[in-house]
A = this chain, B = another copy of it.
């Protein structure tokens, strides 16, 4: 569910050697994954390990944690924006475009719900970054457009706002954390379907799979 997406990575200022470029991307990818799973303050060494590089390499590319966070957030926002635009072009129905834009991507939380994740000091640094401000603004406008379009066409209930929608998706994503991969996906699919039924003007079809017991979700 979370793979196969094209991921956008901001280019570093100077031209890098090919292998260095690869390493940089591996680091950012690992950091996105690690941040969404464990929060942004796990040890730098752990991030390096997950990326399959040495700490030295990590510090070469990102002089400190904030620099890494900035890169990760930039990348996540850009990825989300690209996806939202693609969805808007491809899908004839605004509802489908909206769902496709927001479904199952770890980037969503990082991209839009910063204050829940980062320490205040870091949040400041992120807000201050002009590139982030720019993409973030565009992305927010894009989602607003989708939400309004979906309401116009009568598929999305009229009494919700973009904030409601984003918040709910962000929660659904959060809910997969720390679950075994397969269970996480089942749980996500079902919760998502229920929430979508709450967001739709008209009720959708039966939920996928069978009812989850308490034992299912608590192992």
Contacts and interface: CB of A to CB of B under 8 A. Distances in A.
Contact of A212 (B112, B167, B210): B167
Interface string A145-166: 0000000000000011111101
Contacts of A203: 203
Interface in A136-191: 140, 143-144, 159-164, 166-168, 170-172, 174-175, 177-179, 187, 190-191
A207 interface: yes
A121 interface: no
What is the interface residue range for chain A against chain B?
Answer: 35 or more
Contact of A197 (B114, B140, B198, B215): B198
A99 to B, nearest CB: 14
A172 B167 CA distance: 10
| Dominant SS among interface residues on chain A | helix
A79 B156 CA distance: 38
A135 to B, nearest CB: 14
B211 A160 contact: yes
A177 B116 contact: yes
A161 B212 contact: yes
A128 interface: no
A219 B163 CA distance: 11
A143 B214 CA distance: 9
A113 interface: yes
B210 A161 contact: yes
A2 interface: no
Contacts of A112: 214, 218
11 contacts: A116-B177, A140-B214, A159-B210, A160-B194, A161-B212, A163-B212, A163-B214, A164-B191, A167-B212, A195-B195, A198-B199
Q: Which 3 A-B pairs have the closest CB atoms?
A: A161-B211, A163-B212, A198-B198
